[in-house]
Amino acid sequence: MTVLLTGGAGFIGSHTYLALLEAGHQPVIVDNFSNSNPKILEKLKQITGLPVICHRADVRDEAALSAVFEKHRLTAVIHFAGYKAVGESVGRPLAYYRNNLDSTLALCEVMKRYGVTRLVFSSSATVYGATDRMPLKENMPTGCTNPYGWTKYMNEQILRDMTAANPDWSVALLRYFNPVGAHESGLVREEPTGIPNNLMPYITQVACGKLPELIIFGGDYPTGDGTGVRDYIHVMDLAAGHLAACGFLSDRTGCEAFNLGTGIGYSVLQVVDAFQRVNGVRIPYRIGPRRPGDIARCYADPARAQTMLRWRAKKNLDDMCRDSWRFQQMREH
């Protein structure tokens, strides 16, 4: 397969690139590097020994996107491109709606034009909203608590409607839980600019002394220790889920949603404790106020993906902590 990765230079996209290449497929990246660093391309080349096919373009630009489709005979598309920070989306809702919806609409228009009908969409567990029912299952009601989540919800609806109107299309909606970790090489992982929005890169920057302490957003949630509970999944397991979804779509049509998670919820303090234990480093922290849009608990029922995609998360929390710290140490040296 020749697979287009929109936003393929980002955290999850770059790891999926490696999984596709290892499985014998040809990934093609299109990215405007608004959420990523072009240096990632050299790291991907260093890991694989192969040149990276990458087009610098904004997915919302139909003309630029069409030029990519003209150049490559694409089998499928994995759509990662989009803004991704829950807290930021609350303060910049228009930017999130404009970017995340326009990119999907432009991509679908170009896919239709070139007869590419297989699409894996990067969705999110945020589409389940603020329910107290756990674990989350794909047939549960959806609804959101922040603009980021609503963009995922709306994109899912766009793709369902698109598939209903075009019965030859096959679409997988992958609802991620909380990706962490890094490639075993230690060369690629999440590299945020400024203070990270996500827990694990925040922890690793405190561990190496780049930040003085970890601020935990909320210590009064109705959970075992008062901190938020999430389903953390290793990014390489997540990448494998995209590969499985591409295979799943190869011989069927329609639109299906899948949770990609481990099914286990860990609190922020449990993650901090695991990181300290596995890596032998101390993480100073303090409890701060809750972030707008955050919920108390969120973890998956991954049974549908296990049955239909024949995919299962293999790595545990210790693996996630160990791989994240390895990357940070290599980066500092």
Give the tens place of pLDDT for each residue, 185-229. Answer: 878 766 655 667 789 999 999 999 999 999 999 999 999 999 999
Domain that holds residue 78: 2-177+233-261
- DSSP reduced 3-state for 202: helix
Look at residue 35 and tell me whether its pLDDT is greater than 90.
no
Residue 123 lies in a domain: yes
pLDDT digits 0-9 by tens, 39-75: 999 999 999 999 999 999 999 999 999 999 999 999 9
Residue 33 lies in a domain: yes
Residue 307 lies in a domain: no
Would you state the pLDDT for residue 180? 92
Distances (CA, A) of 222 to 113, 219, 298: 50, 9, 12
Rounded distance between C-alpha atoms, residue 126 and residue 258, angstroms:
13
Residue 196 lies in a domain: no
Dmax over Cα atoms in the chain, in whole Å? 55
Residue 38 lies in a domain: yes
pTM of this prediction?
0.94
Rounded distance between C-alpha atoms, residue 254 and residue 205, angstroms:
43
Helix (H) or strand (E) holding 175: strand 170-176
Q: Is 143 within 8 Å of 111 (Cβ atoms)? A: no
Of 27, 30, 3, 241, the residue nearest 118 (C-alpha): 3
Residue 52 lies in a domain: yes
Look at residue 332 and tell me whether its pLDDT is greater than 60.
no
Rounded distance between C-alpha atoms, residue 47 and residue 52, angstroms:
11
Contacts of 82 (CB under 8 A, 6+ apart): 7, 99, 100, 103, 122, 151
Residue 287 lies in a domain: no
Q: Is 244 within 8 Å of 309 (Cβ atoms)? A: yes
Q: Which of 71-80, 99-108, 290-299 has the lowest mean pLDDT?
A: 290-299
Which residue among the candidates 17, 83, 96, 148 is catalytic per the annotation?
Answer: 148
* φ/ψ of residue 158, rounded to 5: -55, -45
Q: How many domains does the chain have?
A: 1
Residue 198 lies in a domain: no
Q: What is the CATH number of the domain that holds 109?
A: 3.40.50.720
Helix (H) or strand (E) holding 62: helix 62-71
pLDDT digits 0-9 by tens, 65-96: 999 999 999 999 999 999 988 888 999 999 99
Active site residue 285: no
